[in-house]
Structure 1
Amino acid sequence: MPLVVQFTGTRQVGVADEPSRPLGAGQVRIATWYSGISAGHELTAYRGSNPYLTKTWDAGARLFADGAASFSYPVSGWGYQEVGQVIEVAADVSAPRVGDVVYGIWGHRAEAVVPAGIAAERLLPAAVAPVHGVFARAGAIALNAVLAADVHLGEQLAVFGQGVIGLLATRLAGLDGGTVTAVEALPERAALAARFGAAQTVRPDVAGGAAAELRRLTGGAGADTAIELSGSYRALHEAVRSVRPTGRVVAAGFYQGDGVGLRLGEEFHHNRVEIVASQIGGTPRALGDRWNHDRLLRVFMALVADGRVGVEPLVSHVLSVAEVARAFALLDESPAQALQVVLRFPAAPA
């Protein structure tokens, strides 16, 4: 029986059996090779801080409400960065074909049944190593944030948080013509930021805060735009402090709980700072219907395929799915050593 990763409680994760789904018309079956763990979204399920575990999400009203939780433990199949091989297709499917390698979003499970039309649009480029296909979603999130930042040639951009998505945003913003200052506390990630194109790196605990140092580096003006990806309210506040009057802050982290450390009566109010939310469920409004989720994925994977974005340095661990408890513990407890942790499934090629 195929297996699936399952959260059974706070900081409790393992694998469980999952019945194989029948294949319907217009569908294909995929055997998972690799699955990347999100150190943001998925750690909230692991730590028990995700709002879906304590509140009800009303999709129609677009509101969270107190009451019964939308999800409760055990929670199976979270994860959204997968790569696998098509092993079966329905009789009415002409593409993709058995043997094709695809990337997509079907969770940490050994096997998935997905619509053929979606899988056909997610063929892994031949130039991309299969394990690197797990970066499609993270890259799309980073690209979405950079699009929201509306970076222009010659502008100063600050990127707060140099995890996987922050490093990718640093690289993409540089390709867009911006001069990037990375804000990061961990020396290991600060060093990677330089490899990904950051002109300089600032520690968040520098005297006067990162904003004061950013202003010094920009001749007192401040950054034109900041992207905040750490998910820390204190970092979001510092990003607001770092931009020039009427500057823009893209809030792209997954913030949890009350906004302790975010003080909107200070620089936000006096400098008339614009805060824009960036979330993978939609693309920036100013771009209209020219961009959507599919285009984000395609563009990012094309950048990986042609070598303009190198993701290999981001892979810190490739662990057997049987070691999933260790994988999450690494991300939770040892962020200096763990960056992109990838689960390897039994079907993956030797």
Structure 2
Amino acid sequence: MPRQLVASAPRRADIAEYDLPEMMPNEVRVKIQYASPKHGSELAAFRNESPHLADYYDEDWHTFLPRELKEKEEHGNFGKWNLGNQWVGIITEAGEEVKDYAVGDRVCGYGGIREFHAVNAIDNFYLLKMPESMSWQNALCFDPAQFALGAIRDANVRAGDRVAVFGLGAIGQIAAQMARLAGAGYVAVIDPIEDRRTAAIEAGADEGFDPVNEDVGFKLKNATGRMGVDVIIETSASEQALQASLRGLAYGGTIAYVGWARAFKGGLDLGREAHFNNAKIVFSRACSEPNPDYPRWSWRRIEETCWSMLEKGQIRCDHVIHPLVPFEQCAEGYETFVDREPAKSIKLGVAF
């Protein structure tokens, strides 16, 4: 039987067998070569800390409402939940109704880390064909690229702007490259992990700062002749990072807040630079509709633009997928590199 990575209990991952269903006429079967999880929202659920466990976001009310007790008990779905976000693989079978895909096509899609996926192949935007020139690393970064592009657009990054990116996971790494593509004249990156800063600088950022050992806000002011940066992309969801962002932002500048924050426990003082410097904070989430630039821009346009950029190699993500572990070790790899020691990774990759 085929195998998959599952969350068997809070903060515990295992490899388990699953049934391979009979393929439908509209489906293709894909043998997976590479896969990757999310390091943000999925991790919160893996730790049993997600705000969605007790409450849910109601689309009509645009607010969080409490779940019923029984639903709360079942929502975690531990023991059945296939961990993972995206995969790359080769089509090995195609149903009789499938016209746009063929056996041997290399494709990317959404789904858990498992050996085979059966996917609808009729009018499915999310079954993405990959040209030979496209790297599997770029394909696996399709999801974080969307939130990076959303932040760049929401912050209105323009040619010549000075930009700082806080947090150098996959979203931050890609946002730094996109800022340069948008014409930023200066790009600084901020993360406590030296290897992440080095990777971002090698991909085109100008310089990096360590928020643990440096006054990053003052460093940004010093690097820009006391003015501060025009735009900050904040992906870490740390209150200390937000405080440093407000300190390093130019008067009237914009912070695009991308990170999925938890309740702040202290360290944020809005009576300092935030109060004096006319800062603007934009909460950025690419998949919230309607888009701020609707109807010209939508989530689908963001998706299409990101795939095109990744497909053409305008962004490079070979350094973003790190480390790469074999499927046989992915349970241990997930627990270590995603949950317990995230400083050792940027975005975990799994090779089959």
Corresponding residue to 1:124 among 130, 136, 159: 130
Give the partner amino acid of 1:114: V
CA shift, 1:51, in A, is 1.6
In the other structure, the counterpart of 1:133 is 139
Contact 2:108 2:127 in 1 (8 A): no
More deviation, 268-277/134-143: 268-277
Residue 243 of structure 1: aligned partner = 249
- Which deviates further from its counterpart, 252-261 or 147-156? 252-261
Tell me, in whole angstroms, the C-alpha distance in 1 between the residues paired with 2:63 and 2:140.
31
The answer to whether the 8 Å contact 2:109/2:127 transfers is no
State how 1:210-229 maps to structure 2 within 5 Å: 210-229=216-235
Cα offsets for 1:195-222 (capped at 9, x unmatched): 1221121221345x31121111111111
The correspondence for 2:88, drawn from 78, 83, 91, is: 83
> What's the TM-score, normalizing by structure 1?
0.88
Matched with 1:268 is 274
Secondary structure of the corresponding residue to residue 181 of structure 1:
strand
Q: Between Structure 1 and Structure 2, how many residues are aligned?
A: 344
Q: Report the alpha carbon displacement of residue 311 of structure 1 after superposing the two structures with TM.
A: 1.6
Letter in 2 for 1:183: I
Counterpart code for 1:100: D
Residue 64 of structure 1 is matched in structure 2 by: 64
1:300 and 1:130 map into 2 onto residues whose CA distance is: 15
Residue 146 (structure 1) shift: 1.4
Query: 1:263, 1:49 → 2: CA distance?
Result: 26
Cα deviation 1:41-93 (Å, max 9, x = unaligned): 33223322222233334344333234443721405124222112223333222
Equivalent in the alignment of 1:102: 107
Write the deviation string for residues 163-207 of structure 1: whole angstroms up to 9, x where unpaired.
222111111101111121111211111111211221121221345
> Is 1:13 aligned to residue 20 of structure 2?
no
Residue 152 of structure 1, aligned match among 153, 158, 166? 158
1:54 — aligned with what? 54
Aligned residue identity for 2:8: T
| Cα distance in 1 for residues equivalent to 2:162 and 2:290 | 20
Aligned to 2:149: 143
In 2: Cα distance, 1:156 partner to 1:320 partner: 40
Matched, 1:312 2:309: no
Q: What TM-score results when the alignment is normalised by the length of structure 2?
A: 0.88
Of residues 321, 343, 349, the one that matches 2:350 is 343
Cα separation, partners in 2 of 1:320 and 1:28, compared to 1, 3 Å: same
Bigger mean CA offset, 87-96 vs 248-257: 87-96
For structure 2, the residue ranges without an aligned partner over 5 or more in a row are none
Q: Please give the root-mean-square deviation of Cα atoms over the aligned residues, in Å.
A: 2.5
| 8 Å Cα contact 1:31-1:112 kept in structure 2 | yes
* Residue 225 of structure 1, CA deviation: 0.9
d(CA) in 1 for partners of 2:310, 2:238: 29
Going from structure 1 to structure 2, the CA distance change for 1:96 and 1:265 (only over 3 Å counts) comes to farther
Deviations 1:138-169 (A, max 9, x none): 22222222122211111111100112221111
- Bigger shift: residues 174-183 or 43-52: 43-52
Local SS of the residue matching 1:8: strand
Instruction: Check conservation: 1:144, 1:284, Cα contact below 8 A.
Output: no
Q: More deviation in 41-50 or 142-151? A: 41-50
For the 8 Å contact 1:49–1:256, the answer to whether it is kept is no
1:22-61 superposed matches below 5 A: 22-61=22-61
Work out whether residues 158 and 182 of structure 2, in 8 Å CA contact, stay in contact via their aligned partners in 1.
Answer: yes
